């Protein structure tokens, strides 16, 4: 069994991944906190801004952290320059129609057996078997 996020309008996806409470932004920026702590980087979180958008041709949300200024970040012995507006592409979250996901599953050696969706057709659950 696997849960799949289904395709939605770009406006719905934009609102979900750029939420007013900033939950997704904090999640995304937390990556820099981990890099600072785990590998000794010196990212200044105040100099990056979260942004996510729907890349319709790819069928995915792309999450980015945008440098708000020209800056240098040290990661170990390496200095990485960032220009203002340069991004770090942090995540892809793919969205699938039922048909698209079943084709992907089949191409990966699985046989779709049963599919369920919520009332609003926002999410699907797929029961797959190995061929």
Do 47 and 29 touch, CB atoms closer than 8 A? no
- Position 131 scores a pLDDT of 75
Distance CA 73, CA 81 (A): 6
* Residue 126, strand partner residues: 2, 115
| pLDDT tens per residue across all 131 residues of the chain | 999 999 999 999 999 999 999 999 999 999 999 999 999 999 999 999 999 999 999 999 999 999 999 999 999 899 999 999 999 999 999 999 999 999 999 999 999 999 999 999 999 999 999 97
Distance CA 85, CA 66 (A): 5
- Position 89 scores a pLDDT of 97
- Position 118 scores a pLDDT of 96
Do 106 and 84 touch, CB atoms closer than 8 A? no
């Amino acid at each position: 069994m696997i849960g799949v996020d289904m395709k939605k309008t770009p406006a719905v996806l934009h609102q979900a991944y750029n939420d007013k409470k900033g939950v997704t932004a904090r999640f995304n920026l937390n990556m820099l906190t981990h890099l600072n702590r785990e590998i000794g980087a010196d990212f200044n979180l105040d100099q990056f801004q979260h942004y996510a958008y729907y890349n319709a041709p790819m069928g995915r949300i792309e999450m980015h952290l945008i440098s708000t200024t020209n800056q240098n970040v040290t990661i170990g012995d390496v200095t990485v320059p960032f220009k203002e507006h340069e991004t770090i592409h942090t995540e892809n979250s793919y969205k699938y129609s039922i048909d698209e996901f079943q084709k992907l599953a089949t191409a990966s050696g699985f046989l779709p057996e049963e599919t369920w969706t919520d009332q609003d057709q926002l999410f699907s659950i797929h029961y797959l078997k190995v061929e």
